[in-house]
Structure 1
Amino acid sequence: MTINSNRRVNIVIVGGGSAGIATAASILKRNKTLSLAIIDPSEDHYYQPGWTMVGGGAFSAEFTHRKEKDLIPNRALWIKPAVASFDPDNNAVMTADGQEISYDVLIVCPGIKLDWAAIKGLPEALGKNGVTSNYRFDLAPYTYRLVKDMTRGRALFTQPPMPIKCAGAPQKSMYLSCSKWQKNGVLDDIDVQFHNSGAVLFGVSEYVPALMEYVELYNAHLNFESTLVAVDGEAQIATFEQRHGEDIRHVEERFDMIHVVPPQTAPDFIRSSPLAAENGFVDVDQATLRHSKYANIFSLGDACSAPNAKTMAAARKQAPVVAVNALAALEGKAPVADYDGYGSCPLTVERGKIILAEFGYGGKLLPSFPNWLIDGTRPSRLSWLLKDTILPPVYWHGMLKGREWMVKPHRIGAE
């Protein structure tokens, strides 16, 4: 649809990923009469939680891919030029081709920026000489190819400083790789190292004991406060900045395979905008997801400043909250729903078993299932079935269609 250079709609959503499509669908299910626009330049849409499974050989890459045009809700207007800037004092968004889109309510969810260039030599090294990452659609199959073909040598897995999308994904790739090597009978000939910029294996302590059992099972060597700063792909050398108390040193490690997770920041056009908090992400109240200054602006997903785990499961829980709060804002009312920080990280510790980490703000455990069915602190075959078979159709046919299965918005003040 062609639009005028100046246009006004009731609700503008910046970002057509998981958060944007789900929120649009939830809003339009509640009110079919309002005008709603989604601004996103991408022609492609990805089920990104599936990329770990692609790297582990459980999914094909195409299984995680759809065309964006097939997912935009029928009653939503799709504006393809990217957002260039925000003018929140005048309720307007400017696009890269000069359009000014005015709104009554703005919802900002463009995702997070993967800063590959922050690691010296990485962009040119990716996709060859054993350098890979499940954080890219085109590279996840290369991960599995490397794992399948590896019979001996050194495999490095890295995790950058927080925040990152899916904090468990860096180690999930390690576990699935080790599971494959164990099955192939070659694990004893592979030196597995995990280099984590943080000081702990996982941020919620209840899940660490079970994870450590797998670290020991696979004889993986943990290196904490060890940050990847450079990659020489041709020489197959990775350089890490390591902290030991006050001492900082650079250590070179040879590799045959390295799985890299890039540092991540708020998108540039968010960081430089009047919507940004000090950390660069959209400044919101963590409960209502409303902007701290502008009452008609909301944010969710990876781009917002709420201190939850940045996962698809978080966006799935946030979308209905933002939907009802945005509709309240259209009527000049205060937010009516709140978000408890829920996020889920299905930790794929071996092929066929998952530790289903589910938690909210402050690391509070928020299990979706009774303990007798799934004990999230222990590996479970049922949790694998959930990720492998149940969650993909829930995503495509539930979340993105506005079907709020198990994530109905929690009303403020309700028990």
Structure 2
Amino acid sequence: MSKHFQVLVIGGGTAGIMVSSMLKKKNSEIEIGLIEPAETHYYQPAWTLVGANTYNFEKTGRPMSSLIPKGVSWIKEFAETFEPELNKVITKNGNEFTYDYLVVVPGLKIAPEMVEGLQEAMDKGVVCSNYTNPKHTWETLKNFKGGTALFTQPNTPIKCGGAPQKIMYLAEDYFKKNGLRDKTDVVFALPSASIFGVKIIADTLMDVVDRKDINVRFFHKLVKVDADKKIAWYEIDKDLSAGGCVTLADGDEASLDRDIQYNYKDVKVTKDGDRYGVHFDMMHLAPPQCAPDFVRNSPLAAETGWVSVNSKTMQHTKFDNIFSFGDVSNLPTSKTGAAIRKQVPVAVANILKMVEAKTLSTKEYSGYTSCPLVTGYGKMVLAEFDYEKNFMPDPKLKQFPMLLSDSSKEHWRLWMLKKYGLPYLYWNKMMKGIEV
């Protein structure tokens, strides 16, 4: 089978549905094909709340058929091969689709195989992840009886960089409410040197860490998970040539490298060569993530595996009639739905201008993204920033009365935005191609 479309979209996630809807809204005549094998579309930002039993998992999914805009041809297949010189995409079934313009937005791939032992450990027993099975996260929290609660994130880019710590703050709240906090050490191990890349937000989050008495271990790169022994193995990703770098107190806390250990807790750690094994009684992690194989091994990918695009226009750096944004692109910003909300209008303006005049529009993307950082039941901070990591609140969100306070500080109003406002915005505006 072979078919031609003016615009061919790969991916039926946030980016794929929003771009298809907005293109149709602005030009009802445009012929669009959408390649997406999944039957269900999930609103994944709510999975953090599902994992803490404050949102219904069933409400996060809707049939894909209910979201694909009228007049868009749904191709229920897996894209497999790109032939950009021939303006062609071949699916796993061997069907060929040609296009005038291609939009590559299939999202990213969860890749537990990048950490030894993680595939065997994921979503079983006391190892859980909101990224893959938030209902299991809640079961894990419910069954936890105290000990070391370890939260961690990988050293790859991930969707919603704040998600690994949001569930930690909610879990700590849950432990407190259920009389477990006194017998629990909460540990957050992460590969970076800072808890968040925007200073004003990092300062707020470190206040939360202090209030909740959490041990943060920086420069910790997860390399192996031993599910049977309940040990997470890390390498310390810090330049050791300068000396120092003492990561275990061994009875002498004064000798600790404070860049690595913040609010040290003497949890059980086994040392093996250059590796440190943190023993845990429950572990929540964001698994490593990467571009899907069919993208990573294609002519569209940069060396990193992500699709190579211009950071302001989202046009491919080599093929003028290809655009990409969202999680699969190499745009140097956080991979969030909020970023897509601002990327789609720019991409649509550029595609429509290309269709009309073979040139780009004047619209540019500033790198805006936001991360709603839940810091407990009924509390949230909204990190909004651009490519330069400037804190940059979005005036359009001021339509929500809960955003009249300083969003860099914790507030119950922001929690209301997370739980009610943003899902409404997603289903009723973004998915319908309305610029917000």
Query: TM-score under structure 2 normalisation?
Result: 0.89
**Most deviating of 185-194 and 341-350:** 185-194
Residue by residue over 1:307-326, the C-alpha shift from the partner in whole angstroms, topping out at 9 and shown as x without a partner, is: 01100111111111111211
| Match in the other structure for 1:395 | 426
2: CA distance, partners of 1:197 / 1:127:
22
Say yes or no: does 1:121 pair with 2:122. no
Find the partner of 2:407 among 352, 376, 383.
Answer: 376
| Match in the other structure for 2:339 | 314
2: CA distance, partners of 1:372 / 1:114:
33
How far off is 1:119 after superposition?
A: 1.5
| Match in the other structure for 1:412 | none
| Match in the other structure for 1:254 | 279
**Most deviating of 177-186 and 166-175:** 177-186
Question: Which structure 2 residues correspond to residues 189-268 of structure 1 after superposition, within 5 A?
Answer: 189-246=183-240, 249-268=274-293
Native 8 Å contact 1:187 1:218 kept in 2: no
Sequence identity (%):
42
| Match in the other structure for 2:303 | 278
How far off is 1:332 after superposition?
A: 3.5
Find the partner of 1:163 among 157, 179, 194.
Answer: 157
Are residues 375 and 309 of structure 1, via their aligned partners in 2, closer, same or farther at CA, if it must alter by over 3 Å? Answer: same
How far off is 1:129 after superposition?
A: 2.2
Native 8 Å contact 1:129 1:236 kept in 2: no
Say yes or no: does 1:354 pair with 2:380. yes
Say yes or no: does 1:87 pair with 2:83. yes
| Match in the other structure for 1:96 | 92
| Match in the other structure for 1:173 | 167
2: CA distance, partners of 1:183 / 1:334:
58
Residue by residue over 1:213-250, the C-alpha shift from the partner in whole angstroms, topping out at 9 and shown as x without a partner, is: 11111211111111222222222222112234237821
**Most deviating of 80-89 and 16-25:** 80-89
| Match in the other structure for 1:49 | 45
Native 8 Å contact 1:295 1:329 kept in 2: no
Native 8 Å contact 1:193 1:220 kept in 2: yes
Query: TM-score under structure 1 normalisation?
Result: 0.93
AA aligned opposite 1:65 = G
How far off is 1:127 after superposition?
A: 2.5
| Match in the other structure for 2:261 | none
Find the partner of 1:146 among 120, 132, 140.
Answer: 140
1: CA distance, partners of 2:358 / 2:325:
19
How far off is 1:256 after superposition?
A: 0.9
Task: Let me know the Cα RMSD of the aligned residues.
Answer: 1.5
Say yes or no: does 1:334 pair with 2:359. yes
**Most deviating of 119-128 and 58-67:** 119-128
1: CA distance, partners of 2:143 / 2:38:
34
| Match in the other structure for 1:300 | 325
How far off is 1:211 after superposition?
A: 0.4
| Match in the other structure for 1:409 | none
| Match in the other structure for 1:365 | 391
Native 8 Å contact 1:44 1:67 kept in 2: yes
How far off is 1:183 after superposition?
A: 2.2
| Match in the other structure for 1:345 | 371
Counterpart of 1:362 in 2: which secondary structure?
Answer: coil
2: CA distance, partners of 1:325 / 1:372:
31
2: CA distance, partners of 1:97 / 1:327:
30
Instruction: Identify unmatched segments of 5+ residues in structure 2.
Output: 242-272
AA aligned opposite 2:32 = L
AA aligned opposite 2:87 = N
**Most deviating of 143-152 and 283-292:** 143-152
Residue by residue over 1:312-343, the C-alpha shift from the partner in whole angstroms, topping out at 9 and shown as x without a partner, is: 11111111111121111112432212111111
| Match in the other structure for 1:36 | 32
AA aligned opposite 2:138 = Y
2: CA distance, partners of 1:262 / 1:237:
16
How far off is 1:294 after superposition?
A: 1.2
| Match in the other structure for 1:404 | 435
Find the partner of 1:8 among 4, 10, 20.
Answer: 4
How far off is 1:133 after superposition?
A: 0.3
1: CA distance, partners of 2:164 / 2:34:
31
Native 8 Å contact 1:38 1:79 kept in 2: yes
2: CA distance, partners of 1:79 / 1:185:
52
Native 8 Å contact 2:230 2:281 kept in 1: yes
How far off is 1:368 after superposition?
A: 2.1
